[in-house]
Amino acid sequence: MRFTIACPHCGARGIARAMEKKSETDWEIDFQCDDVTCGHTYRTKIEMLPPVVPIPRRPRRSNAELKFDL
């Protein structure tokens, strides 16, 4: 599977060509437009952000709760 993003210049598919990890939560990805007549190259930045509020763990369900009436 290829990582793709639409070309900001012509709207065609842009294919990821190189990726550089800047930190544990930041990456820079270089894309190239798949349209030969355009050929635009562009860089994107992906940053993972922690949730604002920690997501609470749900209590584990017992097997009795999973039984179905047949």
Specify the CATH number for the domain of residue 8: 2.20.25
47 vs 28: CA distance, rounded Å: 9
- For residue 10, give its domain range: 1-48
Q: How many domains does the chain have?
A: 1
* Better pLDDT: 66 or 7: 7
The per-residue pLDDT of the chain, averaged, comes to: 85
pLDDT tens digits, one per residue of 8-33: 999 999 999 999 999 988 999 999 99
Q: Is residue 15 part of a domain?
A: yes
Which letter does DSSP use for residue 36 in this model?
T
Task: Using the predicted structure, report yes or no on whether residue 65 has a pLDDT greater than 70.
Answer: no
> Would you say residue 30 lies in a domain?
yes
Residue 62 lies in a domain: no
User: Would you say residue 53 lies in a domain?
Assistant: no
Q: What 3-state DSSP class applies to 65?
A: helix
Of residues 23 and 2, the one with the higher pLDDT is 23
